[in-house]
Amino acid sequence: MKKKIFIIGGAGYVGSVLVEELLKNNYEVTVYDLLIYGADVLKKNDKLKIIKGDIRNLDLLKKEISGHDTIIHLACISNDPSFELNPDLGKSINFDCFEPLIKISIDQGIKQFIFASSSSVYGVKSEENVIEETSLEPLTDYSKFKAKCEEVLFKYNNNNFICTILRPATVCGYSPRQRLDLVVNILTNIAFHKKEIVVFGGDQLRPNIHINDMCRAYLKILESPINIIQGKIYNVGFENKKVIDIASMVKNKIDNNINIIVKKSEDNRSYHISSKKITKELGYTTLHSIEDSIVDLIEAFRKKLFKDPLNNEFFYNIKRMKSINLK
C-alpha cells in the first residue's frame, strides 16, 4: 500500500515538481504551504489535497498531519538574501517551529520524516570531495539553522520514527513555480534576455542538480528499505562546476556572441560535494545535466511561459517577500 505523504512547502520550486512525480507514482499527497506564489502551480488531482497554512501554526498542523505516514519537509526561507531581509522571520520559520513540528508529527503517528537540509552547511572547503562526514562550518544564518535542524531531528530518530536528511546541491531547471534567483537559472535568464552575462567572481565551485533528479532523490528515499535510510544523511548533487564555466555553457546554448563580463565578488563560498554515498547505498543515479536544465529554461523562455522574467516578483523570493510584507 502506498504511503500517504504530507509535504510542507509543496507549492514551492522543488515541491511543485515533486508533487507531480508523487502523484504519477500513485501516492496520496497533501500539500501544506503558505501559497504566496499561488495554488495554480499545482494541477488538480483526486489524490491531491492543498492546505493553505503557515508552518508556525501548530494547531492547524496538528489537525492536518493526522492520517499521514510520511512528512517531507521542504519549507523554509530559502536563500541567504531572503533570510537576511528579515532574520527574525527566517529564524521563526526555519528553526523555532522545527522541534514543535517533530513532536506533533510523532504524536500524530507519522512514521517517516524526510528533511531537506542544504549542502551549504559545509561552508568553504578545500577538500577535493566533501562527503557527509565532513565537518560542518555554515557561514550564514540560513545554513546555520539548517545544521541545527539536522541535530534536532536526529534526537528523535528511532524505529518508530524514521528520519532521513538530504543535503541538496543548488537546484536548477524548469518548474511550474519557477525561481530565477538560483545560479544556473539566473545566468540563463540574463543571457537569453539581455544577451550578456555578468559573473561575480567566477572561480567559485558550486554543486548543482537538475530539479527532476532532485525529486527522484526524494522518491528513492520513500521507496528504499527503512533499515538502510534510517538516521542517514545523503548529499544529492551532480555536477560541481565553476560559475564561469556555467556561464560558458549558457553562452554556448544560446548565442556564442554573448559577452561574459566578470566582476569582483565578496561571496567566497566554494565547495565540491560528493554524492557517492546515495549511489552506493541506494543505487540512485542522476539522469540530467546542467546543460539539460539550461535547454529546458531556454525552451520555456522561447514559448513565453514566464511573464516578465527579468522583473516579475513571482520568480524572485526576496522581491515577493517584500511585496507581500511577509511576517
Alpha-carbon distances of 169 from 97, 119, 189, rounded to whole Å: 24, 6, 20
CB 118 within 8 A of CB 166: no
Q: Torsion angle of alpha carbons 298, 323, 269, 275, nearest 10°? A: -60
Burial 153-168 (b: 16+ CB within 10 A, else e): beeebeeebbbbbbbb
pLDDT of residue 268: 67
Per-residue model confidence as pLDDT tens digits over 104-137: 999 999 999 999 999 999 988 888 789 999 999 9
**Cβ partners under 8 Å of residue 296, min gap 6:** 173, 174
CATH number for the domain whose boundaries are 4-324: 3.40.50.720
Q: Which residues does the chain have with pLDDT short of 50? A: none
Distance from C-alpha of 127 to C-alpha of 129, rounded to nearest angstrom:
5
Distance from C-alpha of 276 to C-alpha of 71, rounded to nearest angstrom:
25
pLDDT of residue 124: 85
pLDDT of residue 249: 97
Per-residue model confidence as pLDDT tens digits over 64-120: 999 999 999 999 998 778 878 889 999 999 999 999 999 999 999 999 999 999 999
Q: Which of 232, 217, 8 is nearest to 98 (CA)?
A: 8
Distance from C-alpha of 257 to C-alpha of 52, rounded to nearest angstrom:
46
CB 13 within 8 A of CB 168: no
CB 305 within 8 A of CB 311: no
